[in-house]
Amino acid sequence: MNSNCAVFGCTITNRNITMDTKALRQKILDLAIHGKLVPQDPNDEPASVLLERIKVEKERLIKEGKIKRSKKSAKTSDTPHYENVPFEIPNSWVWTTIEEICSKIGSGSTPRGSNYSANGIPFFRSQNVYNDRLVYDDIKYISEEVHQKMKGTEVLANDLLLNITGGSLGRCAVVPADFNCGNVSQHVCIMRSVLVEPEYFHALVLSSYFAKSMKITGSGREGLPKYSLEQMAFPLPPLSEQQRIVMEIEKLFALIDQIEHSKVNLQTIIKQTKSKILDLAIHGKLVPQDPNDEPAIELLKRINPDFTPCDNGHYTQLPDGWTFCRLDQIIGYEQSTAYIVESTAYDDSYSTPVLTAGKSFIIGYTNEATGIYSNLPCIIFDDFTTDSKLVDFPFKVKSSAMKILKVHKDIEVDYVAMFMSITKLVGDTHKRYWISEYSKLEIPIPSKAEQKRIIHAIHGIFTQLDLIMESL
């Protein structure tokens, strides 16, 4: 029986549970700004009263000369009325605007001539602003003198810093409460709220509601106009409820962090398990031996009547019936030059994959009709990294750094590919390895029947492990 848990971003089946933690975080933020994450308390001061206090506080700051009155703002303390609200909110909440709850909304600037210092006052650019924190990697600094000339771009504790241009558009961080001093570039906007919990404001900015309202897309190169930010409708809860919302978000996000950490750990364990299984396989410890199997030495003598077993001290515990040989005694190679793709104008609608032996494997698809390798199955081998892949479909290649290996028909190609997948040489990446070193490596060889049993066992185990990996 299958069922869906849409609220929590997970799907439950009779086999496993899959969870989209990114969607789960968004759902929590969505519930928070709709007034559905924590219960309302009738004893809370209504948000309408809070909004009046915000306006009084802003008037005080204006009279003291600490902030300037917006040209667009009215001096009235009347609560705005929205006829077409973005969504329904609890009765104790009110709709307002970002401008009305902020004493400052404005971007920074860049010092003339990029007048940076080796140390001094931190100068935050968009690459320093992430959703969960300010990142000090690659931070720039300005002198105290430059800082004084850029007072309008000064960052204070509990400010929200929002990236308003470029590929990181919409990333937003809360400045820590113990923050001392700093400035921002023109690509970062300072939003300084008044009597509003910074972390609640932060939750709203990270919500899908904010992204949709500001029309933030994946590319997001158009930037965020200041007027649009100022006039965006802001669902304001009572201050006490804001605090409860923040605490609940922190609690739930901490649980999600644990889930994500466990997921990464399990993925690592699965990868390590696969390597261990392959290691057991090539040492004759994965499946039982059958005394009726033809000894491997007889198999190799049929391939080469002059075959003499290697004396390899690394495999002293091999089972009876196994032996050693060099890879070049069972593998022939072909240069890949004739199969190099001519054009990199790849398109997923084309039929022929272009391969690399590295992690990316299929780097694109081509419509070229000639120079397609089809003598299958084979193993592709990166001559610089010693990465390898088993291939059973026609392909072209990216570069001449790849060799195409053909395993003798009397040896199971899957078995050889398994051995090569956990056998790498690490050294000078500018060196070609196949002829000089890798082909001389010794591989333990069981009987052909045992090779087949090993392959069958590994495929079964790996299928189960892959199902677990897919469910994460």
The pLDDT tens digits of the residues spanning 169-194 come to: 999 999 999 998 999 999 999 999 99
d(CA 172, CA 189): 9
Over the stretch 430-439, which tens digit does the pLDDT of each residue have? 678 999 999 9
Please, where in the chain does CATH 3.90.220.20 lie?
34-237, 286-471
Beta strands per DSSP E along 216-359:
233-236, 323-326, 331-335, 352-355
Confidence label for 353 from pLDDT (cuts 50, 70 and 90):
very high
- Position 254: which residue type? A
Two tokens, residue 228? 């649009």
Q: 270: part of which helix (H) or strand (E)?
A: helix 239-282
Confidence label for 310 from pLDDT (cuts 50, 70 and 90):
low
Instruction: Please tell me the predicted confidence (pLDDT) of residue 70.
Output: 75
Two tokens, residue 308? 């003499």
d(CA 244, CA 253): 14
Q: Coil, strand or helix: which one is 127?
A: helix
d(CA 406, CA 376): 8
Instruction: Please tell me the predicted confidence (pLDDT) of residue 249.
Output: 95
- Position 152: which residue type? G
Confidence label for 312 from pLDDT (cuts 50, 70 and 90):
low
Percentage of residues in the chain having pLDDT higher than 70: 89
Q: Coil, strand or helix: which one is 401?
A: coil
194 CB-side CA count, 13 A:
23
Number of neighbours of residue 98 by Cβ within 10 angstroms: 22
Instruction: Please tell me the predicted confidence (pLDDT) of residue 117.
Output: 83
Say if residues 436 and 378 touch (Cβ distance below 8 Å): no
Pick from 352, 353, 351, 369: nearest CA to 361: 353
**Per-residue pLDDT for 19 more than 60?**
no
Average pLDDT, the chain: 87
Say if residues 236 and 93 touch (Cβ distance below 8 Å): yes
Mean pLDDT of 32-48: 96
Mean pLDDT of 96-107: 94
Instruction: Please tell me the predicted confidence (pLDDT) of residue 2.
Output: 41
Q: What is the model's pTM?
A: 0.64
**Overall fold of domain 34-237:** Adenine-n6-DNA-methyltransferase TaqI; Chain A, domain 2 (3.90.220)
Distances (CA, A) of 147 to 142, 174, 184, 192, 438: 6, 21, 10, 19, 59
Mean pLDDT of 46-71: 91
Instruction: Please tell me the predicted confidence (pLDDT) of residue 11.
Output: 38
Instruction: Please tell me the predicted confidence (pLDDT) of residue 76.
Output: 45
**Per-residue pLDDT for 13 more than 80?**
no
Mean pLDDT of 359-367: 93
Confidence label for 72 from pLDDT (cuts 50, 70 and 90):
low
**Per-residue pLDDT for 426 more than 90?**
no
Instruction: Identify the architecture of domain 286-471 in CATH.
Output: Alpha-Beta Complex (3.90)
